């Protein structure tokens, strides 16, 4: 049974074993902080995206969605402040002139210590690294490198420079000529695609303030502390919404969106006590208020979503750098102004990790006669990768044919799984492990009265219902 401290590790192993999440390019030993979603992970991801998208766009008449490109004009990132402010620390060895990422250097030392069997010391070093990084304490980091006798692999000396900042954006070249003028960035947040399209969407959609623009998409950050599975990745997905408002109304809209977003989180069936708001004390350069919604992961309370009152910082800067007006004419008050913005920004991968952390349960089912246990993913039916498993009890006597009829009735409405191999007990357990909320079993009785057994994942209770009602029972739960 997983204890709290190893639950995180158990979730990672479960995700790999049951086709949710694999290390990227694993046959080449993987790529740090990059992951691939497998067959069930990608279904889960899609369901969470759809649930967020529907909530934002379909249930709010004044919010529309867009899908902007990952590549943007490089000046975008000057205007947003990312070129100048989106940094992490680096250090040079003065003898070899080789430059190192501070975290890489320290992580390599921890790895070396692990290989020498000094596991506890290695973990202690990594904890100190995290602590100093969180405080932007460069002197502390440099002292750590010196105290642990970390040497350059080329010069073999500890003659280190001071620590300097390193930008977290990934860059690449556009076009065939590789020079500085062709350098572009992989976006570090999706928000800027919304800001630069603000007027396109407002005018073509004839939208009146207040209104929102939502987007789901990939973002890329060359993260320096990247040892926490899908919590901190170098390629990840965000679900962001910018809500454009009249200047001066930001306080009330900020409170409204805090409340609104918490309601969404609670609608996932997670109890309120597993969440907390964390107000930012040190505000980012663009914000006049900001907080995180934190969830209690097995590794402690950590940020899942940020809610930021971004003032008119982004639109004003894009106006300045592009020399294009970013103003909105408010006919109600007969005034032109650059709108203020409240942003809600949630990490899709962190939401997936949250649902896995909340749902992962190991149950001891042992009796005096035999030892038994099961692992369940208690996903709400609406986000479960697979909604229904249809299982003929045996592979003969016409039972597979009846099961196929049920599949045909249901599969255009929701995701269903058909399986006839192995004992029914083993098949139930496999469905529990991927979080399938309902299994129906077709048996000999089905042939006489057209009923099937429906088994509920969480309680393991079973009852007989008409085969013709299976679709309605499942649809009621997922809607």
Site residues (CB under 6 A) for ligand GAP? 189, 191, 221, 223, 232-233, 236, 238, 240, 303-306, 343, 345-347, 349-350
End-to-end CA distance of the chain: 34
Q: What is the DSSP string of 43-60?
A: HHHHHHHHHHHIIIIIS-
CB of residue 311 vs ligand GAP: minimum separation in angstroms?
Answer: 14
| Distance, C-alpha 39 to centroid of its chain | 17
How far apart (Å, rounded) are the C-alpha atoms in residues 216 and 324?
Answer: 26
Number of Cβ within 10 Å of residue 115's Cβ equals 10
Nearest to ligand GAP of 221, 427 (CB atom): 221
Residue pair 210/245 in contact by the 8 Å Cβ criterion? yes
Nearest to ligand GAP of 189, 358 (CB atom): 189
CB of residue 297 vs ligand GAP: minimum separation in angstroms?
Answer: 12
How far apart (Å, rounded) are the C-alpha atoms in residues 139 and 146?
Answer: 11
CB of residue 12 vs ligand GAP: minimum separation in angstroms?
Answer: 15
CB of residue 254 vs ligand GAP: minimum separation in angstroms?
Answer: 14
Q: Which residues lie below 8 Å from residue 185, measured CB to CB, with a gap of 6+?
A: 71, 72, 74, 77, 82, 169, 170, 171, 172
Nearest to ligand GAP of 46, 280 (CB atom): 280
Nearest to ligand GAP of 276, 447 (CB atom): 276
| Look-up of token digits 């809610």 | 307
Residue pair 127/110 in contact by the 8 Å Cβ criterion? no
Q: Which residue is nearest to ligand GAP (CB)?
A: 347
Tokens representing 303 are: 């940020």
CB of residue 378 vs ligand GAP: minimum separation in angstroms?
Answer: 22
CB of residue 100 vs ligand GAP: minimum separation in angstroms?
Answer: 21
CB of residue 292 vs ligand GAP: minimum separation in angstroms?
Answer: 6
DSSP code of residue 95: T
Calculate the alpha carbon distances from 304 to 215, 235, 311 in Å.
17, 16, 22
Tokens representing 367 are: 């009796």
Task: Please compute Rg for the chain using Cα positions.
Answer: 26
CB of residue 61 vs ligand GAP: minimum separation in angstroms?
Answer: 24
Instruction: Label each residue of 324-370 as H, E or C.
Output: CCCCEEECCCCEEECCEEEEEEEEHHHHHHHHHHHHEEEEECCCCCC
Helix (H, G, I), strand (E, B) or coil at 237: strand
Nearest to ligand GAP of 236, 360 (CB atom): 236
Nearest to ligand GAP of 239, 393 (CB atom): 239
Nearest to ligand GAP of 345, 357 (CB atom): 345
Nearest to ligand GAP of 349, 432 (CB atom): 349
């Amino acid at each position: 049974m997983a204890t709290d401290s190893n639950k995180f590790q158990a979730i990672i192993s479960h995700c790999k074993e049951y086709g949710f999440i694999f290390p990227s390019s694993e046959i080449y030993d993987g790529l740090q902080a990059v992951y691939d979603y497998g067959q069930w992970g990608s279904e889960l991801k899609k369901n969470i995206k759809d649930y967020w998208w529907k909530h934002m766009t379909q249930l709010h008449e004044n919010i529309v969605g867009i899908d902007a490109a990952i590549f943007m004009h490089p000046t975008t990132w000057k205007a947003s402040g990312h070129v100048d402010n989106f940094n992490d620390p680096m250090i040079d060895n003065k003898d070899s002139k080789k430059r190192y990422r501070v975290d890489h250097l320290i992580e390599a030392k921890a790895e070396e210590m692990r290989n020498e069997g000094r596991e506890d010391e290695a973990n202690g070093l990594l904890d100190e690294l995290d602590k100093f990084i969180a405080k932007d304490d460069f002197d502390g980091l440099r002292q750590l490198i010196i105290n642990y006798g970390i040497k350059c692999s080329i010069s073999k000396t500890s003659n280190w420079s001071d620590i300097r900042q390193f930008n977290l954006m990934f860059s690449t070249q556009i076009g065939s000529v590789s020079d500085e003028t062709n350098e572009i960035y992989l976006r570090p947040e999706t928000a800027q695609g919304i800001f630069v399209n603000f007027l396109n969407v407002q005018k073509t959609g004839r939208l009146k303030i207040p209104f929102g623009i939502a987007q789901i998409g990939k973002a890329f950050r060359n993260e320096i502390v990247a040892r926490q599975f899908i919590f901190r990745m170098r390629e990840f997905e965000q679900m962001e919404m910018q809500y454009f408002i009249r200047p001066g109304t930001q306080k009330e809209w900020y409170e409204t969106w805090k409340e609104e977003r918490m309601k969404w989180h609670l609608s996932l069936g997670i109890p309120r006590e597993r969440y907390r708001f964390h107000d930012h004390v040190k505000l980012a350069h663009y914000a006049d208020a900001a907080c995180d919604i934190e969830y209690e992961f097995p590794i402690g309370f950590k940020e899942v979503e940020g809610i930021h009152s971004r003032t008119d910082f982004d639109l004003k800067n894009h106006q300045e750098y592009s020399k294009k007006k970013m103003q909105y004419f408010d006919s109600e008050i007969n005034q032109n102004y650059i709108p203020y913005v409240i942003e809600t920004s949630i990490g899709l991968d962190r939401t997936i990790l949250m649902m896995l952390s909340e749902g992962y349960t190991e149950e001891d089912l042992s009796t005096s006669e035999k030892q038994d246990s099961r692992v369940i993913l208690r996903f709400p039916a609406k986000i479960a990768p697979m909604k229904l498993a249809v299982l003929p009890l045996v592979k003969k006597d016409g039972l597979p044919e009846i099961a196929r009829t049920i599949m045909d009735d249901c599969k255009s409405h929701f995701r269903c799984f058909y399986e006839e191999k192995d004992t029914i007990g083993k098949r139930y357990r496999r469905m529990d492990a991927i979080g399938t909320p309902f299994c129906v079993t077709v048996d000999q009785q089905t042939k006489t009265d057209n009923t099937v057994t429906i088994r509920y994942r969480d309680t393991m209770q079973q009852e007989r219902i008409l085969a013709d009602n299976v679709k309605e029972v499942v649809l009621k739960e997922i809607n």
